[in-house]
């Protein structure tokens, strides 16, 4: 099985799960960057948290890597672009710590409003400073939520319970959806101008770095209080410190910093600032969820299955209707790849029936994975299939139609002058893939590991020719479908065999009278 390198502490049940699946779990903590470059060699999976930096150099050294798993949400420490180029899947656990992160934001909000850490420090130092640490209520204050994703929505639910008025800025959330949550959607400038409290729940990227800076902080209401439990660098720490010193900003609760770990920040010297060392995901529950989730994702990736939380696969969410067709789509792509003599310049993929319009991006990726893999010595995955297709100049034409005359659902794949179509049959736990057309010939048989497509003259005795050749080679035929073509005077045989046919058997068939073409298909 695979070697899974773990460089940071994750919950033990997740490690036990990987070991139970037969993988070698290699735990090596507190590695230097130089040591990581050495131990990554030969690893098939790498599991990290936030302290390990997975650079392009690390990825290039780990030539056997299939997947990098981040037991958490943020991927600031992983070169996702280079991983994608190398065909390495990057996965995270996006839902593992959302409750913990939302609760941390609320804890900072309350602690900052009521000066709890400052009062605690004074009291244990022997000072009863009741009047000095007077705070403010949350009730009827306006909270601006910048970023209304999963965590922002959970913060909104909790803030409503405190009687706060909620406004939010998020260009990807509709006003109608926000209204259902009791939130008014506004522009960023309006959110800054109206808020008594501002809480940040955005990813860190080139658009969000420095979002709250000297210019935008100047647009806020005097006395506003800032909460950041998202990512360091979204708030300019120096600008925030200046705004607090000037009295324009009333205070802040900060869990994340531009450079981590750190023990130095201009915010640390300000008494109206509450800080924590990135504790948003630091709960026992979040760590258990992250460990279990990342073990699931790594196990799926190593098995070559689709991974729901892969961040560098451009396929979108996979519905329960689409998921069962993924294996069939890959088989159809590989089948067509076996029919064409060289890498094609274009592939046409059609989705017909109920499948049409149901988010078939992953099925297109599956077809590409199969098609490109049939003509490549390098591994082709859901991750690198689009890049390989682009590098080969492969044009992809995807169409959908709700019309499917003979089947509830049908997938068709055409490339290089050849075509194949397939569907799923059965119900419940007895759903099975079927190939129902090859090069326009209607037939029906199950995909198999070893298949043979023979085009021959449509005359008596041709099945015997093929059967005799296989019999002489001691190759058993598991199934066969025959489809004549009256117009062309030819017929098509598609067979599945117990083992792959050797080159000399194929050559013998090609040289037989009446045999026009033979294609060996390996699925």
Give the pLDDT confidence score for residue 379 in this predicted structure: 67
Q: What percent of the chain has pLDDT over 90?
A: 59
Q: What's the alpha-carbon Rg for the chain, to the nearest Å?
A: 30
The two tokens of residue 417 are 């002058």
Q: What is the CATH number of the domain that holds 40?
A: 3.40.50.720
pLDDT (tens digit, 9 = 90+) per residue, 40-92? 999 999 999 988 999 999 999 999 999 999 998 878 899 988 998 888 999 99
For position 8, what pLDDT does the model report? 95
> Under a CB-based contact definition with an 8 Å cutoff, are residues 402 and 356 in contact?
yes
Note the pLDDT tens digit of each residue in 113-164: 999 999 999 999 999 999 999 999 999 999 999 999 889 999 999 999 999 9
Does residue 59 sit within a domain? yes
Q: Annotated catalytic sites, by residue? A: 231, 260, 278
For residues 73 and 413, the model is more confident at 413
pLDDT above 70 (res 438): yes
The model's pLDDT over 446-471, given as tens digits with 9 standing for 90+, comes to: 999 998 999 988 888 889 999 888 98
d(CA 357, CA 400): 7
Compute the C-alpha angle 297/47/57, nearest 5°: 120
50 domain-assigned? yes
Across the range 400-407, mean pLDDT stands at 80
Q: What sign does the dihedral 118-120-122-127 (CA atoms) show?
A: positive
Domain final residue pick, 275, 293, 311: 275
Domain check: are 268 and 297 in the same one?
Answer: no
Predicted confidence at residue 206, as pLDDT, reads 84
Sheet with strand 490-497: strands edge to edge: 477-485, 490-497, 450-457, 515-522
Domain of 116? 98-275
Q: What is the DSSP string of 180-194?
A: HTT-EE--HHHHHHH
pTM (2 d.p.): 0.64
238 pLDDT exceeds 90? Answer: yes
Residue 436 pLDDT exceeds 70: yes
From the list 375, 364, 373, the residue with the least C-alpha distance to 397 is: 364
- Sign of CA pseudo-dihedral 337, 339, 344, 349: negative
383 and 359 co-located in one domain: yes
CATH for 492: 3.30.1330.90
pLDDT cut 70: percent of the chain above it: 98
Same domain, 292 and 390: no
199 within a domain of the structure (yes/no): yes
Task: Judge if 353 and 455 occupy the same domain.
Answer: yes
DSSP-assigned beta bridge partners for residue 412: 350, 421
Q: Are residues 451 and 368 in the same domain?
A: yes
At 320, the pLDDT band (50, 70, 90 cuts) reads confident
Instruction: Examine the pLDDT at 3 and tell me if it is beyond 80.
Output: yes
pLDDT for residue 318: 67
CA distance 434 to 281: 46
Question: pLDDT higher for 183 or 96?
Answer: 183
Structural domains in the chain (count): 3
Structural domain contains residue 448: yes
My answer on whether 289 and 212 are in the same domain is no
* DSSP letter, residue 32: -
pLDDT of res. 486: 67
pLDDT band at 229 (very low <50, low <70, confident <90, very high): very high
**Whether residues 57 and 76 fall in one domain:** yes
Per-residue DSSP letter, 361: H
Bridge partners (DSSP) listed for residue 522: 450
pLDDT digits (tens, 9 = 90+) for 241-256: 999 999 999 999 999 9
In which band, very low, low, confident or very high, does the pLDDT at 317 lie, cut at 50, 70 and 90? low
> Are residue 246 and residue 225 in the same domain, yes or no?
yes
Establish if 329 belongs to a structural domain: yes
Name the residue among 112, 117, 172, 174 with its Cα closest to residue 143: 112
Residue 163 CB-half CA count within 13 A: 4
Rounded Cα distance between 244 and 224, Å, is 10
Residue 422 and residue 516 in one domain: yes
- Per-residue confidence (pLDDT) for residue 57, from 0 to 100: 96
Angstrom CA distances, 311 to 75, 195, 315, stand at 9, 33, 10
Q: Is residue 308 a part of any domain in this protein?
A: no
Q: Is 31 within the bounds of a domain?
A: yes
Residue 261: asked if its preceding bond is cis (omega within 30°), the reply is yes
pLDDT exceeds cutoff 80 at 97: yes
Pair (260, 386) in one structural domain: no
Residues 192, 218 contacting (CB under 8 angstroms): no
- On the CB side of 445, CA atoms within 13 Å amount to 24
The dihedral sign for the CA sequence 190, 193, 197, 200: positive
Q: Are residues 295 and 362 in the same domain?
A: no
Q: State which H helix or E strand residue 175 sits in.
A: helix 175-180
More confident residue, 321 or 35: 35
Strand runs labelled E in 119-269: 142-146, 165-169, 184-185, 197-200, 224-228, 249-254
Mean predicted confidence (pLDDT) in 168-194: 94
Q: What confidence score (pLDDT) does residue 377 get?
A: 65
The answer to whether residue 10 scores a pLDDT higher than 80 is yes
Asked if residue 133 and residue 23 are part of one domain, the reply reads no
| Rounded distance between C-alpha atoms, residue 340 and residue 372, angstroms | 11
Torsion angle (degrees, nearest 10) of CA 163, 168, 172, 174: 60
Looking at the domain assignment, is residue 15 inside a domain?
yes
pLDDT of 286 > 80? The answer is yes
347-390 pLDDT, tens per residue? Answer: 999 998 888 877 788 888 889 989 988 877 666 777 778 878 88
pLDDT at 315 over 60: no
């Amino acid at each position: 099985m695979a070697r899974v390198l773990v460089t940071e502490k994750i919950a033990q049940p997740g490690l036990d799960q990987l070991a139970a699946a037969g993988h070698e779990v290699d735990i090596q903590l507190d590695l230097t960057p130089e040591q990581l470059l050495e131990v990554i060699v030969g690893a098939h999976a790498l599991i990290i948290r936030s302290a390990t930096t997975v650079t392009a150099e690390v990825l290039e050294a780990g030539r056997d890597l299939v997947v990098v798993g981040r037991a958490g949400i943020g991927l600031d420490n992983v070169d996702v672009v280079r991983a994608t180029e190398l065909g390495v899947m990057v996965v995270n656990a996006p839902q593992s710590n959302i409750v913990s992160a939302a609760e941390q934001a609320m804890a900072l909000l309350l602690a900052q409003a009521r000066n709890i850490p400052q009062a605690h420090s004074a009291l244990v130092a022997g000072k009863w400073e009741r009047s000095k640490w007077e705070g403010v209520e949350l009730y009827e204050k306006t909270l601006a939520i910048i970023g209304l994703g999963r965590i922002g929505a959970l913060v909104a639910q909790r803030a409503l319970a405190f009687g706060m008025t909620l406004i939010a800025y998020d260009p990807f959330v509709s006003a109608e959806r926000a209204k259902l949550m009791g939130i008014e959607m506004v522009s960023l400038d309006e959110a800054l101008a109206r808020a008594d409290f501002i809480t940040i729940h955005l990813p860190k990227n080139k658009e969000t770095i420095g979002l709250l800076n000297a210019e935008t902080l100047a647009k806020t209401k005097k006395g506003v209080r800032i909460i950041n439990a998202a990512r360091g660098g979204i708030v300019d720490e120096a600008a925030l410190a200046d705004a607090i010193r000037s009295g324009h900003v009333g205070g802040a609760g900060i869990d994340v910093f531009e450079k981590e770990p750190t023990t130095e920040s201009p915010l640390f010297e300000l008494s109206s600032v509450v800080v924590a060392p990135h504790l948003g995901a630091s709960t026992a529950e979040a760590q258990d969820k992250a460990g279990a989730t990342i073990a699931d994702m790594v196990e799926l990736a190593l098995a070559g299955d689709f991974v729901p939380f892969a961040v560098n696969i451009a396929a979108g969410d996979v519905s329960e209707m689409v998921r069962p067709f993924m294996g069939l789509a890959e088989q159809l792509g590989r089948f067509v790849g076996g029919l064409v003599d060289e890498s094609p310049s274009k592939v046409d993929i059609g989705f017909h029936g109920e499948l049409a319009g149901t988010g078939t991006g992953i099925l297109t990726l599956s077809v590409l994975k199969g098609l490109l893999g049939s003509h490549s010595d390098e591994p082709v995955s859901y991750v690198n299939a689009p890049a390989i297709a682009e590098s080969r100049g492969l044009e992809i034409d995807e169409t959908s139609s709700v019309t499917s005359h003979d089947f509830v659902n049908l997938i068709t794949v055409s490339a290089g002058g050849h075509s194949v179509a397939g569907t799923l049959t059965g119900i419940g736990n007895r759903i099975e893939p079927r190939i129902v057309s090859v090069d326009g010939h209607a037939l029906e048989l199950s995909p198999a590991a070893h298949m043979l497509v023979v085009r021959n003259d449509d005359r008596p005795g041709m099945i015997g020719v093929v059967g005799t050749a296989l019999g002489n080679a001691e190759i058993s035929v598991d199934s066969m479908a025959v489809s004549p073509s009256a117009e062309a005077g030819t017929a098509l045989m598609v067979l599945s065999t117990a083992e792959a046919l050797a080159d000399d058997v194929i050559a013998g068939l090609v040289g037989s009278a009446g045999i026009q073409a033979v294609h060996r298909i390996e699925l």
